[in-house]
Amino acid sequence: MADSPRVRWRRKSLRFRLTAVASAALALALAVSASVLMTVLGRSLIGTVDDSTRLRAQDVRAQADAGDLANPIGTVDGTLVQVLDGTGRITHSTYGTDRLVPLLDDRDRDRAIAEDRALYLDGRPYGIPGPLRVVVVRADRGQTVLAARPVGEIQESLSIAGRVLFAGTPVLIVLLAGASWLIIGRTLRPIASLRKGAADITHTARSRRLPVPEARDEVYSLATTLNDMLARLEEAESRQRALVSDAAHELRSPLASMRLQLEVAIGHPEGQDWRETAEGVLEDAMRLSRLAEDLLALARLDERGGIPARSEPVNLDEVTRQVADRYAEARLTACDPVVVHGDAIDLSRVLTNLMDNAVRHAAAKVEVSLTADGVLTVTDDGPGIPEQDRERVFNRFTRLDDGRSRDEGGAGLGLAIVRETVRAHGGTVCLEDAGPGLRAVVRLPPRAL
């Protein structure tokens, strides 16, 4: 099936379509202005002739009314004049003008007077090539004055002008279309180089940025926006890569430890305490499974892009009490009723991660409090975190050296999960100095009651 003209048009290049539309609009505008020009020019030239002919006719009428008409009437500017009496007979005329037949018969004379305008008349019967404009004026005593002027030259000039326009307009249109084609091509060049840049990125992965044009125009903002996007993608990609390599690194040590314990046990079965081996291996397996769970939690948070898994009313005080109850060393100092929107399991994971950290680092006591304005704090009396590290520890796989050396230390994902979960719930989390110790402060927007 052949494509419809519409489809074929849409498939043409942007350059072609823009040029075609611009040229069509231009052609229309030129044609309209040429025809307006011709009409106005013709009207005004003929109008000038009519005016001067009428002046001459009025002149002659004044002479006729005064009764001092010469015969023949003097010729002024080649104007032919006939003066008729009440019966329609020619009594006076200019030299060389028909003395027997009036230029207009009485019906046309009446019409010219009634409509108060000049009429066209073929000049050939009067020996004049081309048309005449005839003005009729009534005088006293039933007399009528006819004055006529040849307009052949004017019509000739008009038709020459028309021919020039008719021939010149298409040439002009072709020239302007060519110019549009070139200008539009130049304008679209930065887009072509954007495309080439994008192709280079795809094919070679060498340059990671699109070429930015010099002009501060729309293409410039497109290129910079796309470059920002590429930068963000690149950043996300490198973060992803770092995550994978960190994750692999974290997986390696429990796996290596399991392997070593099993190899030793199998290599020297005599006097082997299998229970001890199994406990060691189990511990590593638990570390692995915790790591896998944390990675999964982060992946889910990333996937949802800042929205909690569920959005239902959660009694934060209930969640807080349940989690705090699981830790013998934790003391609940305040627990006001607070309802927030979100996911109860995710929120209890937030508190669990903070409690794990606090319990791990605390010297003696851990305090938990929840106030009615949705502020949840977990305070310990441990070594705390130096000011300059308090933001950094929220990054994935970030452990401070002290934490790294500890055996029970995790992978460094706990606080990253906390921050991202709290963010997804529309809240904030920060670490403060509790002097001594550390206070984690989570602010969640409480649901309006």
Ligand X SMILES: Nc1ncnc2c1ncn2[C@@H]1O[C@H](COP(=O)(O)OP(=O)(O)OP(=O)(O)O)[C@@H](O)[C@H]1O
Catalog residues that contact ligand X under the rule CB under 6 A: 294, 353, 357-358, 361, 380, 382-385, 393, 398-400, 402-403, 409-416, 438
Closest approach, Cβ 439 to Mg ion, in A, equals: 15
Residue 184 interacts with, from Mg ion, ligand X, none (CB under 5-8 Å by kind): none
Judged by CB, which is closer to ligand X: 330, or 411? 411
Report whether 147 contacts 79 (CB < 8 A): yes
Closest approach, Cβ 417 to ligand X, in A, equals: 8
Closest approach, Cβ 413 to ligand X, in A, equals: 4
Judged by CB, which is closer to ligand X: 50, or 367? 367
Residue 308 interacts with, from Mg ion, ligand X, none (CB under 5-8 Å by kind): none
Residue 69 interacts with, from Mg ion, ligand X, none (CB under 5-8 Å by kind): none
Judged by CB, which is closer to ligand X: 58, or 352? 352
Query: Of residues 342, 374, 414, 437, which one binds Mg ion by CB under 5 A?
Result: 414
Judged by CB, which is closer to Mg ion: 82, or 320? 320
Judged by CB, which is closer to ligand X: 45, or 375? 375
- The verdict on 63 binding Mg ion (CB under 5 A) reads no
Residue 400 interacts with, from Mg ion, ligand X, none (CB under 5-8 Å by kind): ligand X
Q: Which of residues 329-388 bind Mg ion (CB under 5 A)?
A: 357
Closest approach, Cβ 357 to Mg ion, in A, equals: 4
Judged by CB, which is closer to ligand X: 165, or 400? 400
Residue 379 interacts with, from ligand X, Mg ion, none (CB under 5-8 Å by kind): none
Closest approach, Cβ 415 to ligand X, in A, equals: 3
Judged by CB, which is closer to Mg ion: 211, or 403? 403
Closest approach, Cβ 344 to ligand X, in A, equals: 20
Residue 380 interacts with, from Mg ion, ligand X, none (CB under 5-8 Å by kind): ligand X
Residue 211 interacts with, from ligand X, Mg ion, none (CB under 5-8 Å by kind): none
Q: Which residues bind Mg ion (CB under 5 A)?
A: 357, 414
